[in-house]
Amino acid sequence: MVSDREYKKTSRGIDMIATLLADKGYYVDHLVFFRRKKIPEKQITDNIRQLYLYDCIKLYRGKLQFIFPGFLLLSYFHYIITRSGIDFNQYNYIVLESGHPIYLSREINSGIIYRQADPTFISFNSNREFYRKLELEVIKKSLFVSSALKENFFPSEYKYKCFYCHSGFIPYNKQITVNKNFICIIGGGLDWNLIYKIAKRHLNCFFNVIGVPGKYFIKKNIHFKGYLDFSEYQNMISCSSLIIIPYSRHFSYQLRQTSYSAKVLTAMQLGKPILVKSYGDIQNTDIDKKLYVYKTKNEAISYLDLILKKIECGEINFEVSKETRDFLFPQTAENRKKELDSIFSKWIK
């Protein structure tokens, strides 16, 4: 497995695949690109080992993607792989996640399984046409593709081996007291102008921003908490009275190929009102009456005023309707894993 992030037992597609393969008896090496220093490998479970490919900082710097042609970055990556001593020929299968792992397209010739979590134009700041071609090379070489993108975006000549399998969510049953003044904002690609505007408008509320890189700090009534581990992430959503996902216009356009994210599904199963910028399949629907989808800043501000008023008056509770439960059931990580299992069983004997 090759990913931008360390393995965690979460509902992310790449993590579910690693867990599935380990459960099926495969021994899984999970390689993560690490940006700065060398870290020793560690055994996560009996069947999953975490490996690190260090000194990859140059691969993440958007400015370098502007300055250097793609082939020079590929050459640099080849040097890092050679120095690491990793022999990809020892593995029966290699699962590549979308994003920076596609640099491996020239290093591996067979046994590739591609997990397409995001479009290339989200992962890369520039040279996007080059990286799109690189991704097509990976798809062409791959045994099959497990994709979180909508089917109409699959390359037509490879649709026969591309399967839609969205990330799910892990049910959360812990009871935590809700603080009516706590509002959770989930990143990235956020509309900061809107965030500062609503924070100034509602000074009695505390806006906890999670999923945005950086250290913890406070700016008036906005608390930046950086990345949280999975349990902290769920706890933060659970104790909040409202979840806001204020994507910027540019980022929401980039997400046009996607569907309901784990962020939205997790908040829905906790009965939270959700204020989210319109993107992909997300729209106002009878599935969940507490899902508020806006298109403009003024619409977002009006919705927020309305939601907070309803919470204060007790018109919004945190119960989950039958329609929402029925919608969420097939979206659980366990059911998504079953979908993955059926796909893998077809292609891996």
**In the predicted model, is pLDDT for residue 305 greater than 90?**
yes
pLDDT digits (tens, 9 = 90+) for 323-339: 888 888 888 888 888 88
CA distance 265 to 276: 12
Which pLDDT does position 55 carry in this prediction?
A: 66
The whole-number average pLDDT for the span 295-324 is 91
> What topology is assigned to 2-168+334-347 in CATH?
Rossmann fold (3.40.50)
Asked whether the predicted pLDDT for residue 38 surpasses 80, the reply is no
Is the pLDDT score of 256 beyond 80?
A: no
The single-letter DSSP state of residue 24 is: T
Residue-wise DSSP of 236-269: HHHHEEEEEE-B-HHHHHHGGG----HHHHHHHH
pLDDT tens figures, 132-155? 888 888 999 999 999 888 776 778
Using the predicted structure, report yes or no on whether residue 60 has a pLDDT greater than 60. Answer: no
Q: What is the pLDDT of residue 174?
A: 76
pLDDT band at 63 (very low <50, low <70, confident <90, very high): low
**259 Cβ neighbours under 8 A, 6+ residues apart:** 148, 150, 166, 280, 281, 282
Is beta strand 240-245 parallel, antiparallel or unpaired with respect to 274-277?
Answer: parallel
- The whole-chain average pLDDT of the chain stands at 84
pTM (whole model) above 0.85: no
| pLDDT of 177 | 82
Question: pLDDT of 26-37, one tens digit each?
Answer: 999 999 875 666
Q: Is the pLDDT of residue 214 over 70?
A: no
Average pLDDT over residues 262-275: 90
Query: Where, residue-wise, is CATH 3.40.50.2000 in the chain?
Result: 179-329
Specify the DSSP class assigned to residue 134: H
pLDDT at position 212 is 79
Positive or negative, the CA dihedral 31, 235, 306, 291 is positive
In the CATH scheme, what is the code of domain 179-329?
Answer: 3.40.50.2000
Alpha-carbon span 84 to 97, nearest angstrom: 20
Evaluate if residue 272 carries a pLDDT over 60.
Answer: yes
Q: Tokens at residue 312, please? A: 């204060």
Backbone conformation region of residue 280, classed left if phi is above 0, alpha if psi is from -120 to 50, else beta: left
